[in-house]
Chains A and B, each alone.
Chain A
Amino acid sequence: MSEKELLKGNIAIAKAALNCGCTCYFGYPITPQTEIGEYLSIEMQKNKLAYVCAESEIAAINMALGAASTGAKVMTSSSSCAVSLMQETISYACSDELPIVIVNVMRAGPGQGYIFPSQGDYNQATTGGGNGDYHTIVLSPTNVQECIDLTYRAFYLAQKYRNPVILLADGLLGQMAEPAELIDNPYPQIDNSNWRLDGAKSRPSREIHSLEVNQNKLNQHIINMYKKYEAIEKDECDFEEYLCEDAEIIFTAFGSLARHVKSVCNYYRSKGVKAGLFRPKTLYPFPYRKLNDLSKKVKIFIDVEMNMGQMLKDIRLSILSNAKISFIGKPVGNWLKEEEIINAADNIIKEHYASI
């Protein structure tokens, strides 16, 4: 166990990646995540690991795909508009069943947008922009410590399920420094000797490709992928519940914005309103079942996001009870402040909840 260190989210992600055995990094600089590549460019060269500053994000993700097929632990990192460029290869990597960790430190979109923080890539990450039937696992950290913890988990889940994993952080978290502890990687190593392409000297040759001209085989391949996704949905959902046990109003939020919402819950509790926070840590698999279980005793759900309501769609899909579902959001820029959330929430609550 090492002692706490004041770490930027970006540096924390880079350190955790190295600590759990990332051997190849490919990337192209873009604000607000450039420190990840900067840090790794120094440390990976020192340790004789593969660091490539690629000529574009398209090149970077394709290098990642190639390296992953050899069984290496691979990471790339980028931000919003540049992750858009990677979508084709992410679809390939899902079909190829290759473990790649993709870090997206979100900035403002759509299109070029700008470097303000935002949570506008929920849809891009969870439903993807690539073609065909696939899912990427999506993890959402709320503080710098979780940047470390979830980077470890991203590598583990990528290897365990042979699937790309997206670590969806945001510009504020990437740039912000907080005390965090670089704990040891708690996950076991996964043996990949049965599929990696490492030279067929003493075994029959293997192939990894997404092209399949036989439709029965392609059908079967996708059905097998979906069996894997079923297992992921069953076993890997993760979330934080804060004061949800007796809550009549539940706020939902993800990422670093959830901390402001937690503070809003504290405010309502101090006013005698039973408010709680539900924060998914895995955006795919989304904890639908848990949220529906909670909805049985909840009167109002208030979803708060720094986008125009992307997770809202999953909240609506989760809740089968008659609970009211409302939304507070803003597309980009400074995070919604507690007082802004409270002002908006007061109106929603007054409408549906006589006691305030």
Chain B
Amino acid sequence: MIRNFIISGSGGQGILSIGTILANIFMLNNKYVNFCPCYGAEMRGGAVNCEINASDSELLTLQNSEVDVVVALNQTSFDKFISKVKKNGTIIVNSSLAKINKTRDDIKYIFAPMTQEAVKLGNIKIANSIALGIISKITDNFSIEKVKKAYEKILKNKTELIEKNIEAYLTGYNFLQER
């Protein structure tokens, strides 16, 4: 098994946070994994993306030209990274901040109003965890214990945020079933 992901959006949306959590989840599931962040000089508002590769065997490829799953949390990254999805791969789009528009017919689309859902849950900042829930659902069905453990690792200095993020994660995880 080799799986690779690009998660993209703008600075402040928590792109690198869920990228790190996803990489930790793979690690906790005893996979080989690497995580490559890419960001501009801006802390907030600039373009941010990261690539996560996971595998059952030693990871040799560090930079891919195409990936299995692209997650785009805004319009700019939707436009920029749709070409990076492998044939028959999936793009997960935050439809609150990007228009529903299918320009390729050889890939799968998942449009989810993540920002709106996050606002409904009471915190606009947890839209990223909704995205992570969707990723988890369509890739490996990770056990919730491992997911919680990964959140606890990353948010060890902000433990009060863990519960809300898990709630958002589960909202994302159940999003596809509910439709």
Residues of B near any A CB (own CB < 8 A) = 20, 23-24, 27, 32-37, 59-65
Q: Whose C-beta in chain B lies nearest to the C-beta of A336?
A: B63
Is chain B's binding surface mostly helix, strand, loop or mixed?
Answer: mixed
| Docked pose: A334 CA to B35 CA in angstroms | 15
Given contacts A6-B23, A6-B27, contact A175 B36 (CB under 8 A): yes
Inter-chain contact B62/A260, CB cutoff 8 Å: yes
A–B complex contacts, Cβ < 8 Å, 24 sampled: A4-B27, A6-B20, A6-B23, A172-B62, A175-B36, A175-B37, A176-B34, A176-B36, A177-B20, A177-B37, A178-B35, A178-B59, A179-B27, A179-B33, A259-B59, A259-B60, A259-B62, A260-B60, A262-B60, A263-B60, A337-B61, A337-B65, A338-B61, A339-B65
Chain B residues within 8 Å of A176, by CB? 34-36, 62
C-alpha gap A175/B62 in the complex (Å):
12
CA distance A339 to B66 in the complex (A): 12
Q: With the chains together, A93 CA to B64 CA distance in Å?
A: 41
What chain A residues lie within 8 Å of B27 (beta carbons)? 4, 6, 179
A6-B24, A6-B27 in contact; A335/B63 too (CB < 8 A)? yes
In the complex, the 9 A-B pairs of residues with the closest C-beta atoms, listed nearest first: A263-B60, A177-B35, A259-B60, A179-B27, A178-B34, A176-B36, A262-B60, A335-B63, A6-B24
User: Is residue A126 within 8 Å, beta carbon to beta carbon, of the partner chain?
Assistant: no
A282 within 8 A of B: no
Taking CB atoms, residues of chain A closer than 8 Å to B24 are 6
Question: Within the assembled complex, what's the spacing in Å between the Cα atoms of A179 and B55?
Answer: 12
- Taken together as a complex, chains A and B put the C-alpha atoms of A61 and B142 apart, in Å, by 48
Min CB gap A203→B, angstroms: 49
A95 at the interface (CB under 8 A from B): no
In the bound assembly, the distance between CA atoms of A354 and B20 in angstroms comes to 47
The answer on a CB contact under 8 Å between A177 and B34 is: yes
Interface residues of A, Cβ cutoff 8 Å to B: 4, 6, 172, 175-179, 256, 259-260, 262-263, 266, 334-335, 337-339
* B169 shortest CB reach to chain A, Å: 18
Q: How far is the CA of A102 from the CA of B62 in the complex (A)?
A: 25
With A178-B59, A259-B61, A260-B62 given, name 9 new contacts (CB 8 A).
A6-B24, A6-B35, A177-B23, A179-B27, A259-B59, A259-B62, A260-B60, A266-B60, A339-B65
A266 CA / B32 CA spacing, docked (Å): 18
CA distance A256 to B58 in the complex (A): 13
Q: Which chain A residues border B32 with CB–CB below 8 Å? A: 179
What A residues does B65 contact at CB under 8 A? 337, 339
Q: What residues on B are CB-neighbors of A259 within 8 Å?
A: 59-62
Residues of B within 8 A of A335 (CB): 62-63
A260, B35: Cα distance in complex, Å: 16
Chain A residues within an 8 Å CB radius of B59:
178, 259
CA of A70 to CA of B6 in the docked complex: distance in angstroms? 49
Alpha-carbon distance A266/B24, docked complex (angstroms):
27
Contacts of B35 in A (CB 8 A): 6, 176-178
Min distance, Cβ B151 to any Cβ of chain A, angstroms: 13
CB distance from B78 to the nearest CB of A (A): 22
Chain B residue nearest to A261 in the complex (CB): B60
- Shortest Cβ distance from residue B25 to the other chain A in the assembled complex, whole angstroms: 10
- Which residues on B sit within 8 Å (CB–CB) of A266? 60
Least distance between A106 CB and chain B CB atoms (Å): 15
State in angstroms the CA–CA spacing of A335 and B64 once bound together.
10
CA distance A263 to B32 in the complex (A): 15
**What is the CB-to-nearest-CB distance from B127 to chain A, in angstroms, rounded to a whole number?**
23
Q: Which residues of A contact B37 (CB under 8 A)?
A: 175, 177
B63 x A337 contact (CB < 8 A) = yes
Which residue from chain A places its CB closest to the CB of B39 in the assembled complex? A175
Residue among B27, B60, B62 having the largest count of chain A Cβ atoms under 10 Å: B62
| B21–chain A nearest beta-carbon distance, Å | 10
Chain A residues near B64 (CB, 8 Å)?
A: 337
Q: Which of A178, A260, A263, A339 has the most CB of B within 10 A?
A: A178
C-alpha spacing A263/B61, complex, angstroms: 7
**Across the interface, which residues of A come within 8 angstroms of B36, CB to CB?**
172, 175-177
Q: How far is the CB of B49 from chain A (nearest CB, A)?
A: 13
Q: How far is the CB of B144 from chain A (nearest CB, A)?
A: 19
Residue ID in chain B nearest A263 by CB atoms:
B60
Q: Closest A residue to B36 by CB, please name it.
A: A176
Quick check: A256 and B62 within 8 Å, CB to CB? yes
Q: How far is the CB of B36 from chain A (nearest CB, A)?
A: 5
- In angstroms, how far is the closest chain A Cβ from the Cβ of B59? 7
B63 near A334 with CB under 8 A, answer yes
Q: Complex Cα distance A345/B120, Å?
A: 55
